Structure 1
Amino acid sequence: MEAENPRDFFKQLNPAFYERYLHIDDSDAFFESLLRPIKTSIRINTLKADLDDVADRLSEDFTLEKIPWCNEGFYINTSNFGAIMEHRLGIIFPQEAASMIPANLMELRPGMKVLDLCAAPGAKTTQIAQYMENEGCVIANDPNAKRVNILISNLQKCGVLIAKVTKKDGRFFSRYEGKFDAVLVDAPCSNVGMIRKNFKYLKFWREKEIDYLSKLQKSLILVGYKALKPGGVLIYS
């Protein structure tokens, strides 16, 4: 979407949102970025197929562009994944390029014990299991029952065998001190980034949620840190 003046667009649609971000240093670039569509991207699931074989096959029908920070990640010139057999088989997983970064920073290896504190819908969880080569244990937690069902579906579709799914408030895991080699805290947020996908997220944005979410995120980070073994890796995203 293009607008002659992005500031006017956001001011009209949600004045409180506009005022919240008006005075940040890069406000013009920020508002403009929210009007640019996200490039469609996928991650090839090496739990089910060979990376090069899948990339070669997809290149016959689509244009692929390598994502620099993820060896298995590609931008692709389609969003019609329902028509792609590899998607239906769990061989490729639609995933935003930026969301592929956290798992790449977790120093994952087979045999680890990993806690994914806010796991649904499962893009990062399946990526974690992929990097662990389906060896070890991933506790995939989410407090929302509906989202847990989606998480389970995606884990099954991608052939993840090492995930134990739980439906708990993330703060429940404070009792498991020093148990995990790595923890991912992909915390609940205000969904500002989702505005690029659908402007309904702008319409329903409320400033009063920011204080609550920031406190919740802090508590989840502290839980994740407490759950780490000495020398473990905590990623907050």
Structure 2
Amino acid sequence: MSEQDRPLRVVVADDHPVYREGLAMVLGSLPGVDVVGEASDGIEAVRLAGLLSPDVVLMDLSMPGMGGVEATRAIAAEHPGVAVLVLSMHEGADSVVAALRAGARGYVVKGATKDEIARAMHEVASGGAVFGGPVAQQVLLRVQDSPRPARRGAEAFPDLTDRELEVLDLVAGGLSNAAIGSRLHLSDKTVRNVVSNAVAKIGASDRTDAILLARRAGLGEPVSRP
């Protein structure tokens, strides 16, 4: 079975057992979705991300102990091939931006339908980014109001992990995803996820915008192809 044909592997993280179990059951009944694990807090979500290697962790933000933002940051740093899709009641721009800066690839409110959630999971798993309903407008407004980075290197992008900064530097230097993967010994899927994480975290609208911001910050010296 090819990677495109296999079911989407999903971990559901939410501290409310009735909601979590119900959501896992509903999503698991959908064609092309395999719920491989459930987590009741952020620590368990991070553990399952490493143990089960899911395509997507569907992450609640408000959980005891390690919350969803901290768990998202840990997964983005330790398991960059795993996409985090936040599912939460929190619709404020602060929550959205915090999740994005932590490495989330998308944000869907709990009022979304199962089909909307499924589409969002497939989108982030393939390297895209998704923002549901009014959240999208709030993120756009917050990004537009944010000052553009003017510092160099890591100081310009303090929210990026070392890997994300390394990949952004190569993107700004003109390398394709395939070339970056070859240089850093990463899979194509992992490179797509890291690039998308970096683009979202620095507030870029797309890859081209990210290149412009990165070069303004001093990244992207021309690099030789492998």
Q: How would you bin the TM-score normalised by the shorter chain?
A: under 0.3
- Scaled by the length of structure 2, the TM-score of the pair is 0.28
Greater fraction strand: 1
Greater fraction helix: 2
Indicate the structure whose relative CO is greater, using CA pairs within 8 Å and at least 6 residues apart: 1
Q: Which has the larger radius of gyration?
A: 1
